[in-house]
Amino acid sequence: MESSSPREVHPYDLRLLTAKAVSFRTMVRFEASDRTKLAPQTRKTLLLNLTNLQSFMGLGSNDQDLSDSLEATAQTLEILLGLSIESQQVKRFVDDFRSEARHYKSIRAELESWLDVMREYSLRYLPLASSLSLRILLAAPEWCDPPLEQIISAITHAQEEGRQITLYLRSDALDLDTYFEIPGILSHEFWCHSLSSIQASGQESEQAPWRGCDPEDSWEEGWMDFIQNTILRSPDFPTPPQYHTWLVPQLHKSCHGYEIQRADPANGHQRSRGWSAALHAQRFFHQCFPAYSPDEILIEFSVKINSINSLSGSKRVVVDLFLKHLAYSEQDQSVQTSLNQLVRGRAELYHLISPCFRIDTASRHVTIDVEGLLKIVENS
Ligand SMILES: [Zn+2]
């Protein structure tokens, strides 16, 4: 998906997106704290009322402070629903809405926070990422030519000074599930496409092509989707400060659902195979280094390989080496191999690569020498 020059969302749509975000967060917060699900009809009525009020509110009050508008919405909602539904539950919902509206800044601020925590977290694998300039553009899908149909989509561009992630959101169609998929999509753009081909400042080559995860390559997309999903679900990964604990299960549910759908062979065989290949590699690491976290090793390995800035194709050769020895062919997922072959393949791979895996027993951290790995690949 490509767009020549994406246009930023209109301020009105930005307000609507923010107001919707507050409503969806309130819904999840309310249901988590009340420990009871609202009746489907009540849920629908609440969200419909909120959305209607917010659209109306957004039309004529661009200069009004957003939190004032949200407070006005809460009051109107109280009156409307108080008249129609005599319920303590609804009163508590409005209280939650008020509290959420008071603390939530804007959808743009939320996106920036996600980028900040991801970048901070990436430094443990890729210290060079600290010099990367990274910006996010919240763009209007209806202004693309042709207009984008998806509720949510994104693309990353390599720019001279860094990366720009363009996130397209349809303000009219954004719903609760798609709102909670946003972090997963940002995570994909960040881990798969933003950390590629990074060089220390001053070392940029004139025509340095982009050699990270290729957006045109579904297989790589699948592999890196598995990686970013693992990171997002890691207990170690910090969610941004405005992400309260009651939102996290919904976040994992929505993002994981989105990824599982992407990894479904019905939606692309290559991407599905990339995903399963990463799963195979994770099991291999678990067998080789049983005392260490297979997730950590897989992430370290994948992020490093994804970021290398060496001769085109090297990265693929390293991955192919893994696949060959794990008896997992990209072309043919159902290769028939005996147990003996499988065991021998894994042992050979371990023998080949283990000199490049440095284990610090004190910190229990595994570091991978990717340059060394490339040399081994060249000589094998
Ligand atoms: Zn992608």
Residue pLDDT, tens place only, 76-103: 777 766 655 556 677 777 788 878 878 8
Distance CA 17, CA 51 (A): 10
Cis? peptide before 146, omega within 30° of 0: yes
Q: Which domain holds residue 82?
A: 11-104
- Among 104, 134, 154, identify where a domain stops: 104
Are 174 and 215 found together in one domain?
Answer: yes
Q: How far is the CA of 215 from the centre of ligand 1 (A)?
A: 5
Determine the Cα angle at 337 with ends 332 and 340, to 5°.
150
Distance CA 29, CA 106 (A): 17
CB 15, CB 105: distance < 8 Å:
no
161 versus 182: the higher-pLDDT residue is 182
Q: How far is the CA of 271 from the centre of ligand 1 (A)?
A: 10
Are 223 and 237 found together in one domain?
Answer: yes
Are 65 and 180 found together in one domain?
Answer: no
Q: Is residue 59 pLDDT above 60, yes or no?
A: no
Q: How far is the CA of 221 from the centre of ligand 1 (A)?
A: 6
pLDDT category, 321, cuts 50, 70, 90?
confident
Calculate the average pLDDT of the chain: 79
Q: How far is the CA of 360 from the centre of ligand 1 (A)?
A: 33
Q: Which of 95-109, 193-207, 242-256 has the highest mean pLDDT?
A: 242-256
Are 80 and 146 found together in one domain?
Answer: no
Q: Which of 164, 163, 168 lies closest to 145, judged by CA?
A: 168
Over residues 296-310, mean pLDDT: 82
Percent of the chain beyond pLDDT 70? 81
Instruction: Give the pLDDT of residue 123.
Output: 93
Q: How far is the CA of 311 from the centre of ligand 1 (A)?
A: 22
Question: Is residue 256, in this structure, part of any structural domain at all?
Answer: yes
- Among 79, 104, 129, identify where a domain stops: 104
Beta strands in 170-248 (DSSP E): none
Q: How far is the CA of 50 from the centre of ligand 1 (A)?
A: 34
Question: Is residue 354, in this structure, part of any structural domain at all?
Answer: yes
Q: How far is the CA of 195 from the centre of ligand 1 (A)?
A: 12
Instruction: Give the pLDDT of residue 60.
Output: 43
Are 238 and 161 found together in one domain?
Answer: yes
* Sign of the CA dihedral running 241, 242, 248, 252: negative
Q: Is residue 3 pLDDT above 70, yes or no?
A: no
Length of the chain: 380
Q: How far is the CA of 220 from the centre of ligand 1 (A)?
A: 9
Instruction: Give the pLDDT of residue 203.
Output: 46
Residue carrying structure tokens 């990339």: 274
Are 68 and 156 found together in one domain?
Answer: no
Q: How far is the CA of 205 from the centre of ligand 1 (A)?
A: 24
Q: State the total domains in the chain.
A: 2
For the ranges 144-148, 160-164, 174-178, 223-227, the lowest mean pLDDT is seen at 160-164
Q: How far is the CA of 193 from the centre of ligand 1 (A)?
A: 7
**Which positions ≥6 away from 351 have C-beta within 8 Å?**
none
Question: Is residue 86, in this structure, part of any structural domain at all?
Answer: yes
Q: How far is the CA of 225 from the centre of ligand 1 (A)?
A: 8
Q: Is residue 329 pLDDT above 70, yes or no?
A: no
pLDDT category, 178, cuts 50, 70, 90?
very high
